[in-house]
Amino acid sequence: MPVPFEMPDGAPPIIPVVVIDEAEKGPALARALLQGGIQAIEVTLRTPAAAEAIALIAKEVPEICLGAGTVITPDDVQRVRAAGVDFMVSPGCTPRLHHASEASGLPFLAGAVTASEAIAMQELGYSRLKYFPADANGGVAGLKGLGGPLPGLSFCPTGGVGAKNAAEYLAAPNCFAVGGSWVAPADAIRSGDWKRIEKLAREASSLV
């Protein structure tokens, strides 16, 4: 059976989704988020530096709940598991990806945005899913719309989620967390503006 993803005890239900171009900046980023009260991070596999950044964070900042995003192949699963992640996230799911993630023993947030996709994932044993891209698929209303026929599922919406609408998403009864890049913007990571990221993390933590 798939391992359900759980936020760390007492953590705000917010997962910064980050793109890291320079691996060595990963630990400083993770520390800035922790200082701001955010206890989870999703490092997307969108750059050549991502896997190394994940490994450095796992080694140097083990207290953060470390996720890998954009996990879309069985090879990705093996790479991030070896790097030391605590959970994995994907924009969707295929039978091969499902089997690889299940074999890894890691919590996996598989993406689903339609009722058919969500039902298919529920049949495989998933109870928590990623809702992506959220705003492009009805936003809060679209998310809530899945709650009536699928009460056994809860979602982490990402894609268009930011400071202005995160609280509205979190108020939905079938939303257990939100993910987004607004807490750790790419330009702040590139410039090493950790104070700005810490401030944004603190503001995000106060939303709930």
CA 131 to chain centre: 10
CA distances from 37 to 12, 33, 56, 195 (A): 8, 6, 20, 13
The yes-or-no answer on residue 130 being catalytic is: yes
Report the alpha-carbon distance of residue 10 to residue 3 in Å, rounded: 20
Q: Which of 6, 22, 24, 42 is catalytic?
A: 42
The residue written with tokens 């492009």 in the block is 136
The yes-or-no answer on residue 102 being catalytic is: no
Q: Which of 24, 102, 130, 195 is catalytic?
A: 130
Tokens in use for 58?
């796992």
Inter-residue contact 149 to 123 (CB < 8 Å): no
Catalytic residues: 42, 130
